[in-house]
């Protein structure tokens, strides 16, 4: 499931591939992905618009148009952004694409559905309406410490709550907790300030290194959990074994030796 690092990589792709380009044609082989409008109305509205800028908040990508409006994309369970030559066959599972004046198409590709594309007036209003928390990459340390105050939930649940900190899901919350050597079910209210500062730093390191690696698990450093994230795998840091654990309704992975319960 695409999380903050993946969407940040898609933002970089949109910046490199599409910003500055003028939209000639819109196609939506899977029109159900569009929210609040038909392909025809979207096509009319976007025709001849130039893509001016991009923005990301949590797991949402916003494409700013010279009309002043924005396309917002959420990548659901499996979505990604691709580019193809419009004269060639589009990639399998293309749900939506924008044909640009240079003959390239920016494609939203999703083998599994549940994503979302919509035309909106203002990203800030969209973020407020969805009650999204502060972006998990750009949050500053004081805000991060404030967000933890009075929270009695497990730290994994807290990290994954989009209304508190937008952008983290099951995989990257595990990665951050692994780096911080913290058990997923540790109560946030049981973390002292040093532990929270360590968690804040682990979040920054994991996100920055993952984005630098193109959010590609194959390119992540070997001491990351993600390349070893399966039951029975050897912990790259100690003699321990990676184990699954039900936490916050998801299957978390951790090294119980590096991340003991109530350890800080």
Ranges assigned E (strand) in 20-174 = 23-27, 34-35, 51-57, 60-65, 70-74, 80-85, 94-100, 104-109, 116-120, 134-135, 165-166
CA distances to 21, 84, 91 from 87, in Å: 17, 9, 12
**What's the closest the beta carbon of residue 238 comes to Zn ion, in angstroms?**
4
3 state DSSP class of 69 = coil
**What's the closest the beta carbon of residue 156 comes to Zn ion, in angstroms?**
17
Measured CA to CA, the distance from residue 198 to residue 103 in angstroms comes to 48
Between 171 and 225, name the residue whose CB sits nearer to Zn ion. 225
- Dihedral angle computed from the Cα positions of residues 3, 209, 225 and 111, in that order, rounded to the nearest 10 degrees: 30
Between 49 and 247, name the residue whose CB sits nearer to Zn ion. 247
| Beta-sheet pairing, 116-120 with 34-35 | parallel
For 55, half-sphere exposure in the C-beta direction (CA atoms, 13 angstrom radius) is: 15
Measured CA to CA, the distance from residue 237 to residue 241 in angstroms comes to 10
Between 32 and 239, name the residue whose CB sits nearer to Zn ion. 239
Between 206 and 258, name the residue whose CB sits nearer to Zn ion. 258
User: What is the binding site for Zn ion (CB under 5 A)?
Assistant: 235, 237-238, 240, 255, 257-258
**What's the closest the beta carbon of residue 241 comes to Zn ion, in angstroms?**
8
Between 214 and 240, name the residue whose CB sits nearer to Zn ion. 240
**What's the closest the beta carbon of residue 201 comes to Zn ion, in angstroms?**
19
**What's the closest the beta carbon of residue 259 comes to Zn ion, in angstroms?**
7
60, 74 Cβ separation under 8 angstroms: yes
228, 244 Cβ separation under 8 angstroms: no
**What's the closest the beta carbon of residue 28 comes to Zn ion, in angstroms?**
46
Between 97 and 173, name the residue whose CB sits nearer to Zn ion. 173
């Amino acid at each position: 499931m695409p999380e903050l690092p993946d969407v940040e990589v898609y933002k970089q792709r949109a910046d490199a591939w599409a910003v500055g380009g003028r939209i000639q044609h819109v196609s939506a082989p899977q029109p159900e992905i569009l929210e609040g409008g038909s392909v025809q109305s979207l096509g009319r509205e976007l025709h001849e618009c130039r893509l001016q800028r991009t923005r990301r908040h949590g797991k949402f990508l916003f494409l700013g148009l010279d009309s002043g409006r924005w396309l917002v994309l959420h990548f659901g369970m499996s979505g990604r952004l691709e580019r193809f030559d419009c004269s060639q066959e589009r990639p399998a599972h293309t749900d939506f694409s924008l044909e640009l004046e240079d003959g390239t198409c920016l494609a939203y590709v999703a083998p599994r559905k549940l994503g979302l594309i919509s035309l909106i007036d203002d990203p800030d209003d969209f973020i407020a309406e969805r009650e999204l928390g502060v972006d998990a990459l750009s949050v500053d340390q004081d805000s991060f410490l404030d967000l933890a105050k009075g929270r009695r939930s497990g730290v994994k649940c807290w990290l994954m709550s989009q209304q508190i900190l937008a952008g983290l899901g099951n995989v990257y919350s595990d990665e951050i907790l692994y780096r911080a050597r913290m058990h997923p079910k540790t109560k946030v209210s049981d973390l002292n300030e040093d532990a929270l500062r360590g968690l804040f730093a682990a979040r920054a390191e994991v996100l920055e290194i993952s984005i630098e690696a193109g959010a590609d698990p194959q390119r992540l450093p070997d001491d990351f959990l993600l390349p070893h994230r399966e039951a029975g795998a050897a912990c790259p840091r100690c003699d321990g074994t990676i184990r699954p654990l039900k936490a916050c309704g998801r299957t978390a992975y951790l090294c119980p030796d590096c991340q003991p319960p109530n350890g800080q």
